[in-house]
Amino acid sequence: MQRDIFTPEHDAFRDMVRTFIAREVTPYHGQWEQDGIVSREVWLAAGRAGLLGIEIDEKYGGGGNPDYRYYLILNEELAAAGATGPAFAVHNDINGHYFGRLCTPEQRERWLPGYCSGEIITAIAMTEPGAGSDLQGITTTAVRDGGHYILNGSKTFISNGQLCDLVIVVARTDPGAGHQGISLLVAERGMPGFGRGRNLDKIGMHAQDTSELFFTDVAVPVANLLGTEGGGFIALMQNLPRERVSIGATALAGAEKVFADTLAYCQQRQAFGRPIGRFQHNRFVLAEMATELAVARAFTDRAVMELGAGRLSNEEASMVKWWNTELCNRVVDRCVQLHGGYGYMREFAVAKAFADSRVQTIFGGTTEIMKEIIGRGLGV
């Protein structure tokens, strides 16, 4: 499908990203899956290639380019390669927006050079054992004590949790102020009382480290407050549409790749003397998926352009996230069926995608929360 949202510069960047993934990611991803974590070297390689901090000012080592489409291309190519290990999207799409908008000049000097080079890996800690999509339900606290906040609480399902050097922690600085009492604090590797739990044993995405984090009387300097005290909830709400578009766009790219592989399989796999794609039922299934993907692609690319122009609503971002992640799971499931027994073998990419893609309707806000946001936007 021809996509008219990209320029020749974007196309050249996509070629570079594909080369990077072929050289620095694909040869090692199988080992990372066994290890349960990627090598820090791939982060340094990404920094050298200019793939981290694309929108960060050049004086800090970033690309100085605020065009979201470059991040989109990176995410799409990782998805097409089945490279779920390097959580660059957390670092770039999510945390980069917080650091880029909220850092003080001193924080920029302290953090951004390492952020762009890959020497500093970041995470964001929102979800807690008892609070997921409901951010107002968080119980992690940060009490001001002179020049520090004393941070206490626990977080779970944190991507980059084992590797991270900086983690943006969502905490309550004023328990009695509702959502206006939520702030963002940056905890650093090595701070006394900052502990990491186990690398969680997930159904899929085995190369991506996902962890529990614990904070016990961690003295976080006031200088590590990101943005304003009490402004954390608003900052989160402002950034969630971008996060949800990124998740939805990545899901769609993954579904398109699985579909393309399955179409090729159906054209060459023989049964009863002919390719299995020529059986009417299979042909109809392929036709349905091709149509659904084409419709989703048109809507997603429009949303990407609206996001870049600052016009995308929270409701539309939720539509992208809900529709594309659910579509991805439906497409992958049907593609497993079309592969027959081979679709259940882990050496086939479709089987890996089946396990890896399932979480996409959960993280970044569940499908049910997306529908709630859309419904509220309709005034009901």
Provide φ and ψ at 148, rounded to 5°: -135, 160
**Strand (E) positions, the chain?**
122-125, 141-145, 148-159, 166-172, 182-188, 194-199, 210-221, 225-226, 270-271, 274-275
The first and second tokens of residue 2, run together, are 């021809």
* CA 32 and chain centroid, separation: 18
Q: Is-catalytic flag, 243? A: yes
Q: How far apart are CA 300 and CA 244, in angstroms?
A: 11
CA–CA separation, 194 and 151 (whole Å) = 9
CB 188 within 8 A of CB 123: no
The type of residue at 333 is D
Q: Which residue, among 209, 214, 180, has the nearest Cα to 197 in the 3D structure?
A: 214
- Spatial CB neighbours of 207, under 8 Å, sequence gap ≥ 6: 29, 32, 33, 35, 36, 37, 38, 84, 85, 86
Specify the amino acid at residue 344: Y
Q: For the chain, how long is the longest CA-to-CA vector?
A: 79
Taking the C-alpha atoms of residue 160 and residue 229, their distance in angstroms, rounded to an integer, is 25
Positive or negative, the CA dihedral 20, 25, 26, 27 is positive
d(CA 104, CA 6): 33
Crossing angle of helices 69-80 and 232-268, in 10° steps, is: 40
The Cα–Cα gap between 129 and 169 comes to 14
Look at residue 183 and give its three-state secondary structure: strand
Structure tokens at 70: 């470059």
User: Alpha-carbon distance 326 to 85, whole Å?
Assistant: 21
Q: Name the active-site residue from 243, 288, 306, 315.
A: 243
DSSP 93: I
**Active site (catalytic) residues:** 243
